[in-house]
């Protein structure tokens, strides 16, 4: 049986939320005064209700839930910023909680001083910090500026400095809020790798997030928090599905007001939003759009598939070819154009240049129909956007549209608990069994 | 239910309450942070100032000139036998340290809201570190006093050994009100505006620029209720030796210490609520 790192027993947290003051407008002065004195000014709000869990040594656990599920409260209680109303938590070993990077950084102090100060605020001794000092500086990529006051640093540099301090100082347990996405792309991937390193070195990690994608990379196990209770715990895959259900239920319950409020925070809602905006054909002359380079002018574009009858017109089965046909006017010359596909989060997936794939080059001016046939078994279920980029002869971009067409694919043979749920592509790659002995 | 712990790691238990002893132990665990914060305060204070230290010396010198001109030369307020500038300056040092302590430690928590919300350490460390960094100011004033004593050829006697005692008393006096203020100001910001004003008024009821003898004999005993008066008198007694130090001040010191412990207790009680109220 592994050691327990954190053991929470029946923790609850009550907040007193200030009520809106409602004073009687009628009645005598005495009546009003008495009313004012005796009506409760606060109402109770239980952010956490009877939460119990155990986290074992070396485990990395994600705590997920929607906004307002009590994640932050739980994190603050675990990091001892606030105390629970009832219940008990036992923590074995030193714990560092990072709710925000670079808390306590002072702009007038140098990077060096700030590392020392930040480390001490997190509860480390001078010795512990100095041992790791070089690694911290190396990782944060700010060696050249280490003795400058940090008010001259860019915000990316500050984030890197903050992250490096926590990543290298060794504690038994790390609590992380959604601070993983910091800095530019390069640094972000460095951070992700560092967290995976920490996980591999058997440190106990607790990550709190509402973005299940982001944290499923790191977590062995997840706790799903909903309305102050832990409603489920288990492997990432099983919790992802449960979380989807919770989100859908919640949306049905609370309607559109909530959807709009949290749209940006939530992939599902972003997805839903785009389902409404599907667009499978466009006529440029009708919509008065001049999409033109020195060689091409777009006339219209449409997308179609060999739909089976039982599916909606707009759904494209993933196991069928998808035909993209574009009508263009060729104006002569060698200015290329390219078509590409992005997923609904605007991640690029693939694309092709026309002249590089089109074997039978066009050389006479006139109207052409360009067919781009996307083979079956490339997309996963989801929403995709077809975009076009027009170039001049030196391959400089002249015109770009990301959302020329938006289409939705469906997977008819989906199995429950499919772990590939969030991958944009799903090619059919076969496994071969070769018996070895 | 004991938690399984083969490696004998230190176990932290978090429940709804924290007892005073545990709290003080936690504060001591973070003693390095106190020094780091003091160092930060000092560095920040003199960062980007050309005049830095010079300004800090100018301030007491100007106060000294104004007080000795107005009260010494124009109003002819008497002293205890030492030249008036030295007499008034000892009072000023002590009272000034007290009042600056109340203000900076009292407002220190509101200033560090960001840290309080986002990271845990015993918050008591913040006002305490402010009290220590304010000592820097105190020592600069003391330097001016030393120069002044050289000019007036005053040599302290063996009683100077009691100087640290009164310094600690002075610090405790300022911190007591500062800690109360910082804890209370979280609930009601009004305290931040009101308390420093009343602290300013205490100069009138403390023998800073006048000698105790100008208070009528029959109400003289009222002074013994004011620990700051005792501290000012004590400083004069141990530095110049011309003042008498009445043992009747000791009860007020004891009450002051009682309030100091109460302030720590109250601070501990509301500390976790601070992060919630922000």
Look up the CATH number of the domain holding residue A231.
3.40.50.300
| Interface check A12 vs B, CB under 8 A | no
Give how far B34 is from chain A: nearest CA, Å.
9
Q: What is the mean pLDDT of residues A86-97?
A: 86
A287-328: pLDDT as tens digits: 777 888 888 888 989 888 876 555 566 788 888 888 898 998
- Tokens (6 digits) for B254: 């004891």
State the Cα angle at A300 between A299 and A304, rounded to 5°: 155
| Interface check A14 vs B, CB under 8 A | no
Same domain, A33 and A66: yes
- Specify if B20 maps to a domain: no
Instruction: Say if the Cβ atoms of B117 and A120 lie within 8 Å.
Output: no
Same domain, A222 and A259: yes
- Specify if A99 maps to a domain: no
- Specify if B252 maps to a domain: yes
Q: What is the pTM of this model?
A: 0.71
- Specify if A134 maps to a domain: no
**pLDDT for position A263:** 40
Q: Where is the domain boundary, A242, A267, A292? A: A267
**pLDDT for position A23:** 58
**ipTM of the assembly?**
0.80
H/E segment holding residue A238: helix A236-262
Instruction: Say if the Cβ atoms of B10 and A93 lie within 8 Å.
Output: yes
Same domain, A258 and A290: no
Same domain, A200 and A349: no
Average pLDDT value over all residues in chain A:
80
Instruction: Say if the Cβ atoms of B3 and A149 lie within 8 Å.
Output: no
B260: nearest Cα among B221, B235, B225, B227? B227
Q: How far apart are CA A276 and CA A259, in angstroms?
A: 14
Same domain, A230 and A327: no
Same domain, A260 and A206: yes
Residue of B nearest to A91 (CA): B12
Instruction: Say if the Cβ atoms of A126 and B14 lie within 8 Å.
Output: no
Same domain, A289 and A376: yes
- Specify if B185 maps to a domain: yes
| Interface check A261 vs B, CB under 8 A | no
Residue B263's domain spans which residues?
25-41+51-271
Q: Own/partner pairs for B224-229, CB < 8 Å, 24+ apart?
A: B224/B248, B224/B249, B224/B251, B224/B252, B225/B252, B226/B202, B226/B252, B227/B169, B227/B173, B227/B252, B227/B253, B227/B255, B227/B256, B228/B94, B228/B95, B228/B98, B228/B173, B228/B202, B229/B205
| Interface check B187 vs A, CB under 8 A | no
- Specify if B7 maps to a domain: no
A237-264: pLDDT as tens digits: 778 778 877 777 776 666 544 444 444 4
**pLDDT for position A399:** 85
- Specify if A150 maps to a domain: no
- Specify if B16 maps to a domain: no
Cβ contacts of A290 within 8 Å, gap of 6 or more:
A284, A297
Q: Which residues pair with A88 in a beta bridge?
A: A9
Same domain, A84 and A219: yes
Start-to-end C-alpha separation, chain B: 35
State the total domains in chain A: 2
Q: Where is the domain boundary, A235, A267, A299? A: A267
Same domain, A43 and A191: yes
For A56, the 3-state DSSP assignment is: strand
Give how far B129 is from chain A: nearest CA, Å.
13
- Specify if B153 maps to a domain: yes
- Specify if A139 maps to a domain: no
- Tokens (6 digits) for A149: 């006051």
Query: pLDDT at residue A151 above 70?
Result: yes
Report residue B177's pLDDT band, with 50, 70 and 90 as the boundaries.
very high
Same domain, A321 and A396: yes
Q: How far is CA B100 from CA A178, A425, B105, B246, in A?
A: 40, 66, 8, 26
Phi, psi of A80 (to 5 degrees): 65, 25
Q: Where is the domain boundary, A232, A267, A302? A: A267
Residues of A in contact with B13 (CB under 8 A): 88-91
Phi, psi of A309 (to 5 degrees): -70, -30
Q: How far apart are CA A340 and CA A336, in angstroms?
A: 13
- Specify if B129 maps to a domain: yes
Give how far B187 is from chain A: nearest CA, Å.
13
SS (H, E, C) A325-361: EEEEEECCCCCCEEEEEEECCCCEEEEEEHHHHCCCC
Phi, psi of A176 (to 5 degrees): -120, 135
Q: Between chain A and chain B, how many beta carbons pairs sit less than 8 Å apart?
A: 118
Residues of B in contact with A56 (CB under 8 A): none
Residue A318's domain spans which residues?
281-410
Start-to-end C-alpha separation, chain A: 35
| Interface check A88 vs B, CB under 8 A | yes
Residue B254 C-alpha from the chain's centroid: 16
Instruction: Say if the Cβ atoms of A92 and B11 lie within 8 Å.
Output: yes
Residues of A in contact with B11 (CB under 8 A): 90-92
State the total domains in chain B: 1
Name which residue leads in pLDDT, B165 or A311: B165
- Specify if B241 maps to a domain: yes
- Tokens (6 digits) for A385: 């956007």
**Residue A351: CATH number of its domain:** 2.70.50.60
Residues of B in contact with A104 (CB under 8 A): 112, 114-115, 119
Q: Contact B97/B202 with Cβ under 8 angstroms?
A: no
Q: What is the mean pLDDT of residues A184-194?
A: 75
A327-367: pLDDT as tens digits: 988 888 888 889 999 887 778 899 988 887 776 667 788 88
Q: How far is CA B159 from CA A171, B23, B238, in A?
A: 50, 37, 5
Same domain, A368 and A235: no
Same domain, A248 and A178: yes
Beta strands A397-410 and B11-14 are unpaired
Q: Contact B193/B107 with Cβ under 8 angstroms?
A: no
Q: How far apart are CA B6 and CA B140, in angstroms?
A: 54
């Amino acid at each position: 049986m592994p050691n327990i790192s954190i053991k929470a027993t029946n923790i609850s947290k009550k907040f007193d939320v200030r009520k809106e003051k409602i004073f009687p407008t009628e009645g005598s002065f005495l009546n009003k005064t008495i009313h004012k004195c005796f009506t409760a000014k606060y109402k109770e709000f239980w952010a956490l209700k009877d939460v119990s869990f155990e986290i074992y040594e070396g485990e990395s656990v994600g705590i997920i839930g929607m906004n307002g599920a009590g994640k932050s409260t739980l994190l603050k209680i675990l990091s001892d910023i606030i105390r629970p109303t009832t219940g008990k938590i036992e923590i074995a070993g030193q714990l560092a909680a990072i709710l925000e990077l670079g808390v306590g950084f002072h702009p007038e102090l140098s990077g060096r001083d700030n590392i020392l100060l930040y480390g001490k605020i997190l509860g480390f001794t001078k010795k512990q910090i100095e041992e790791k000092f070089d690694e911290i500086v190396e990782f944060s990529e700010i060696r050249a500026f280490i003795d400058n006051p940090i008010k001259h640093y860019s915000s990316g540099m500050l984030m890197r400095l903050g992250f490096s301090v926590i990543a290298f100082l060794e504690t038994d347990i790390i609590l992380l809020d959604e601070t993983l996405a910091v800095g530019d792309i390069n640094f972000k991937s460095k951070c992700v790798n560092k967290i995976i390193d920490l996980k591999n070195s058997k440190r106990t990690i607790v990550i709190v997030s509402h973005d299940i994608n982001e944290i499923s990379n790191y977590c062995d196990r997840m706790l799903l928090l909903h309305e102050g209770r832990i409603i489920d715990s288990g492997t990432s895959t099983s919790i992802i599905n449960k979380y989807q259900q919770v989100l859908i239920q919640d949306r049905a319950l609370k309607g559109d007001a909530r959807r709009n409020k949290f749209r940006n925070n939530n992939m599902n809602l972003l997805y839903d939003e785009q389902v409404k905006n599907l667009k499978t054909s466009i006529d440029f002359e009708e919509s008065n759009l001049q999409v033109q380079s020195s060689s091409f002018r777009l006339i219209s574009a449409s997308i179609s598939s060999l739909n089976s009858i039982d599916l909606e017109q707009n759904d494209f089965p993933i196991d069928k070819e998808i035909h993209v046909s574009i009508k263009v006017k060729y104006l002569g010359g060698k200015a290329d154009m390219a078509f590409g596909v992005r997923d609904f989060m605007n991640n690029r997936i693939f694309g092709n240049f026309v002249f590089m794939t089109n074997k039978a080059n066009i050389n006479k001016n006139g109207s052409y129909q360009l067919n781009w046939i996307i083979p079956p078994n490339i997309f996963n279920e989801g929403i995709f956007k077809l975009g076009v980029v027009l170039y001049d002869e030196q391959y400089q971009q002249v015109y770009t549209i990301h959302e020329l067409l938006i289409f939705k694919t469906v997977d008819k043979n989906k199995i429950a608990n499919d772990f590939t749920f969030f991958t944009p592509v799903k090619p059919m790659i076969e496994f071969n069994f070769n018996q070895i002995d | 239910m004991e938690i399984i712990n083969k490696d004998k790691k230190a176990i932290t238990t978090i429940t709804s309450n924290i007892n005073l002893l545990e709290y003080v132990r936690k504060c001591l665990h973070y003693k390095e942070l106190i020094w780091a914060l003091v160092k930060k305060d000092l560095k920040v204070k003199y960062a980007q100032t050309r005049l830095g230290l010079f300004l800090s010396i100018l301030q007491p010198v100007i106060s000294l000139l104004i007080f000795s001109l107005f009260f010494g030369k124009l109003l002819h307020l008497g002293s205890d036998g030492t030249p008036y500038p030295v007499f008034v300056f000892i009072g000023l040092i002590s009272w000034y340290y007290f009042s600056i302590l109340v203000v900076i430690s009292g407002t220190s928590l509101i200033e560090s809201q960001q840290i309080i919300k986002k990271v845990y350490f015993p918050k008591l460390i913040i006002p305490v570190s402010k009290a220590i960094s304010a000592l820097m100011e105190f020592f600069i004033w003391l330097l001016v006093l030393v120069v002044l004593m050289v000019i007036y050829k005053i040599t302290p006697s063996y009683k100077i050994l009691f100087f640290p005692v009164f310094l600690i008393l002075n610090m405790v006096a300022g911190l007591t009100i500062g800690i109360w203020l910082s804890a209370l100001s979280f609930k009601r910001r009004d305290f931040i505006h009101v308390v420093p004003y009343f602290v300013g008024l205490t100069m009138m009821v403390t023998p800073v620029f006048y000698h105790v003898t100008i208070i009528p004999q029959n109400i003289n005993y009222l002074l013994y209720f004011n620990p700051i008066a005792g501290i000012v008198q004590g400083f004069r007694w141990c530095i110049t030796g011309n003042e008498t130090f009445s043992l009747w001040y000791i009860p007020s010191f004891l009450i002051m210490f009682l309030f100091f412990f109460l302030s720590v207790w109250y601070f501990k009680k509301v500390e976790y609520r601070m992060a919630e109220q922000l």
